[in-house]
């Protein structure tokens, strides 16, 4: 994935999320790795459509399908890598789950 332009997300942070995924028994695939880059680049509280647009830009117009992205977002949520919130407008928004763990009071 090194050669993909626009992948400005921290490689260290992506690696940490990959490790977290593996620890939760979720196999790391190329699609999930690219998706993690896109999520980090999108920032907090992003929608699946916003992630798709970022991936489309990063991959030169060859983003994975919306269905593939949504299936993998669901898996990342299920395995505790991402957190999903539903707003009043019923739009799902995604964040990195560890960001909540790090800032939560003990």
pLDDT digits (tens, 9 = 90+) for 53-96: 999 999 999 999 999 999 999 999 999 999 999 988 899 999 99
pLDDT confidence bin for 9, thresholds 50/70/90: low
End-to-end CA distance of the chain: 37
Confidence at residue 99, expressed as pLDDT on a 0 to 100 scale: 65
Mind listing the domains of the chain with CATH numbers?
11-103 (1.10.10.10)
pTM: 0.80
Q: What is the mean pLDDT of residues 11-32?
A: 90
Task: Give the model's pLDDT for residue 5.
Answer: 41
């Amino acid at each position: 994935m090194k050669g993909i332009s626009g992948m400005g997300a921290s490689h260290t942070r992506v690696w940490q999320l990959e490790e977290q995924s593996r620890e939760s028994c979720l196999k790391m695939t190329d699609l999930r790795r690219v998706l993690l880059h896109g999520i980090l680049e999108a920032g907090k509280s992003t929608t699946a459509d916003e992630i798709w647009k970022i991936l489309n830009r990063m991959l030169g117009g060859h983003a994975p399908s919306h269905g593939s992205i949504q299936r993998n977002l669901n898996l990342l949520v299920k395995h505790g890598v991402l957190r999903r919130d539903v707003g009043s407008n019923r739009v799902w928004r995604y964040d990195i789950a560890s960001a909540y763990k790090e800032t939560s009071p003990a």
